[in-house]
């Protein structure tokens, strides 16, 4: 009688197949991760476009003046502790979920029981008298949105090139949530500062005194690209260090100008830097 050989894999053949699958997985996993992050970036951009549209509607209703970063504290009324940009734009959005970027994994903490919804976006800060780092060269507030109640935000008429002027950027931090306000940077240069972290990296600081160095902050990013929202309503992903030249001090600005180099600054409201 003829012997029939049973079909099957030898051990060597099986090991070869496993090795091929492992190699393919190693090649494809980063591709899948990049695709997932790209989808999250697109979702984040869509959120920002909705917020910017609301901001444009707000501006038209308030004598063409941009909204503030924070308006006043609510503490005396016994409700949430601050009125922020998200509250000013709420009548035009009616959806707190758009303030959260799906890539933002920074934990929130308001030092007590709750924090509302996370806020993943901030707005460039304006405070007159500090335009180009003139106070000891350490601070510059050449953005658009006021924080302190002694000054108002920039009016549209003062912004020389709305399509080339950033209003909104990704800031991911423990301190930014709807029970308070969209956290901010006093010094606008922090947005482009090469020494600052870009997500997923972050630095730590103390937010709740009972938890020293537990808070986190970073400029949000997706595979190295940060979403920026412009005054005219469009959103663009860029490496944050490209939005303005570095350093930005009176001496550095003058030196570049004398050398015929560009001082183009997308964070600055002044048309001379466009």
Per-residue pLDDT for 178 more than 60? yes
The token pair that represents 5 in the structure block: 């050989």
Is 180 inside any structural domain?
yes
- Is 1 domain-assigned? no
Tell me whether residue 214 is in a domain: yes
Alpha carbon separation from 176 to 54, 109, 241 (Å, rounded): 19, 9, 23
pLDDT in tens, 41-100: 999 999 999 999 999 999 999 999 999 999 876 655 556 778 899 999 999 998 889 999
pLDDT of residue 78: 59
Mean pLDDT of 146-175: 95
Contact status, residue 84 vs residue 74, Cβ threshold 8 Å? no
Question: How many Å apart are CA 124 and CA 214, to the nearest integer?
Answer: 25
Cα dist. 102→120, 121, 265 in Å?
9, 12, 28
Residue 199 in domain:
yes
In a domain, 87, yes or no: yes
Domain membership of residue 157 (yes or no) is yes
Q: What are phi and psi of 38, to 5 degrees?
A: -65, -40
- 265 located within any domain: yes
pTM score: 0.85
The domain total for the chain is 1
Asked if the structure places residue 6 within a domain, the reply is no
| Residue 5 pLDDT exceeds 70 | no
Query: In whole angstroms, what is the distance from residue 274 CA to residue 269 CA?
Result: 9
pLDDT single digits (tens) 209-256 = 889 999 999 999 999 999 999 999 999 999 999 999 999 988 899 999
Contacts of residue 139, Cβ cutoff 8 Å, sequence gap at least 6: 130, 133, 186, 187
For residue 83, what are the domain limits?
Answer: 11-273
Q: How confident is the model at residue 267 (pLDDT cuts 50, 70, 90)?
A: very high
């Amino acid at each position: 009688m003829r012997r029939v050989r049973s079909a099957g894999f030898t051990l060597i053949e099986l090991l070869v197949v496993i090795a091929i699958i492992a190699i393919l997985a190693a090649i494809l996993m980063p591709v899948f991760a990049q695709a997932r992050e790209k989808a999250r970036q697109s979702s984040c951009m869509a959120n920002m476009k909705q917020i910017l549209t609301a901001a444009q509607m707000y501006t038209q209703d308030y004598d063409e003046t941009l909204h503030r970063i924070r308006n006043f504290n609510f503490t005396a009324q016994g409700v949430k502790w601050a009125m922020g940009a998200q509250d000013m734009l709420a009548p035009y959005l009616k959806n707190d979920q758009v303030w959260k970027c799906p890539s933002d994994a920074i934990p929130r903490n308001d030092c007590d029981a709750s924090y509302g919804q996370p806020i993943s976006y901030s707005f460039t800060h304006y405070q007159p008298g500090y335009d180009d780092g003139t106070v000891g060269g350490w601070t510059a507030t050449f953005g658009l949105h006021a924080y302190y109640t002694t000054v108002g935000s920039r009016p549209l008429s003062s912004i020389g090139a709305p399509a080339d002027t950033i209003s909104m950027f990704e800031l991911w931090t423990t301190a930014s949530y709807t029970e308070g306000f969209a956290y901010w940077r006093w010094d606008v240069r922090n947005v482009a500062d090469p020494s600052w972290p870009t997500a997923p990296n972050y630095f730590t600081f103390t937010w709740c005194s009972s938890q020293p160095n537990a808070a986190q902050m970073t400029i949000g990013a997706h595979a190295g690209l940060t979403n920026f929202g412009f005054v005219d309503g469009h959103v663009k992903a860029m490496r944050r260090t490209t939005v303005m030249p570095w350093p930005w001090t009176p001496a550095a600005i003058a030196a570049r100008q004398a050398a015929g180099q560009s001082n183009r600054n997308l964070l600055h409201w002044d048309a001379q830097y466009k």
